[in-house]
Amino acid sequence: MSASASNKLEFSSFDPFGEEFRDNPISFDEKLLNDSPGFMLMEGDVPSAYIAKYDQCLQALGNWELFSSVKPPNLPGMQRVDFFNGMPVMNYSDPPQHDRLRRVVNVAFAPGRVRKLADYTDSVVKELVDNIEPGKPFDGMQDIGRPLAVKVLFDEFLGIPAEDQHIFFEFGATFYLLDKLKPGDPKPKEYIEGWKKGEAYLREVLANADKEDRKNVLSMIANASESGTMSDSEMMAMVCVLFTGGVPTVSAMGASSMHYLAKYPDIAERIRKDENLAKAFCEEVYRLDAPVSLVMRFATQDVDVGGRTIPEGTPVYTMISMANRDPDQFENPLEFNIDREENRHLAFGNGTHVCIGNAITRMILPKIVVEMANRYPSLRLDPESSGVWETTPRSRHRIKVPLLA
Ligand code: HEM
What pLDDT does 181 receive? 84
What pLDDT does 248 receive? 94
Atom 38 of ligand 1, nearest CA residue = 353
Tell me, using a 6 A CB cutoff, whether residue 347 lines ligand 1.
Answer: yes
Peptide bond into 96 cis (omega under 30): yes
Mutate to test the pocket of ligand 1, among 114, 235, 356, 395 (most ligand atoms within 8 A of CB): 356
Say if residues 349 and 286 touch (Cβ distance below 8 Å).
no
Tell me, using a 6 A CB cutoff, whether residue 241 lines ligand 1.
Answer: yes
Q: Give 356 Cα–ligand 1 centroid separation in angstroms.
A: 6
- Partner residues linked to 298 by β-bridges: 68, 315
Tell me, using a 6 A CB cutoff, whether residue 89 lines ligand 1.
Answer: no
Distance separating alpha carbons of residues 173 and 150, to the nearest angstrom: 15
pLDDT tens across 318-348, in order? 999 999 999 999 999 999 999 999 999 999 9
What pLDDT does 176 receive? 84
Q: Give 21 Cα–ligand 1 centroid separation in angstroms.
A: 23
Tell me, using a 6 A CB cutoff, whether residue 296 lines ligand 1.
Answer: no
Atom 17 of ligand 1, nearest CA residue = 355
Tell me, using a 6 A CB cutoff, whether residue 105 lines ligand 1.
Answer: no
Contacting residues for 135 by C-beta, under 8 A, at least 6 apart: 404, 405
Tell me, using a 6 A CB cutoff, whether residue 253 lines ligand 1.
Answer: yes
What pLDDT does 129 receive? 98
- Partner residues linked to 304 by β-bridges: 309
Tell me, using a 6 A CB cutoff, whether residue 153 lines ligand 1.
Answer: yes
Atom 35 of ligand 1, nearest CA residue = 242
Q: Which residue segments constitute the domains of the chain, with CATH numbers given?
A: 3-404 (1.10.630.10)
Tell me, using a 6 A CB cutoff, whether residue 387 lines ligand 1.
Answer: no
**pLDDT tens over the chain, length 405 residues:** 554 555 578 999 999 989 899 999 999 999 999 999 999 999 888 999 999 999 999 999 999 999 999 988 778 877 777 888 888 899 999 999 999 989 888 888 999 889 989 999 999 999 999 999 999 999 999 999 999 999 999 999 998 899 999 999 999 899 889 888 877 788 999 999 999 999 888 888 877 776 656 667 887 777 776 676 677 778 778 888 998 899 999 999 999 999 999 999 999 999 999 999 999 999 999 999 999 999 999 999 999 999 999 999 999 999 999 999 999 999 999 999 999 999 999 999 999 999 999 999 999 999 999 999 999 999 999 999 999 999 988 899 999 999 999
Contacting residues for 50 by C-beta, under 8 A, at least 6 apart: 14, 16, 32, 36, 37, 38, 39, 40, 294, 316, 317, 318, 319
Tell me, using a 6 A CB cutoff, whether residue 117 lines ligand 1.
Answer: no
Atom of ligand 1 nearest to the CA of 297: 16
Atom 11 of ligand 1, nearest CA residue = 355
Rg of the chain (C-alpha set) = 21
Q: Give 56 Cα–ligand 1 centroid separation in angstroms.
A: 20
What pLDDT does 3 receive? 47
Tell me, using a 6 A CB cutoff, whether residue 288 lines ligand 1.
Answer: no
pTM recorded for the entire structure: 0.94
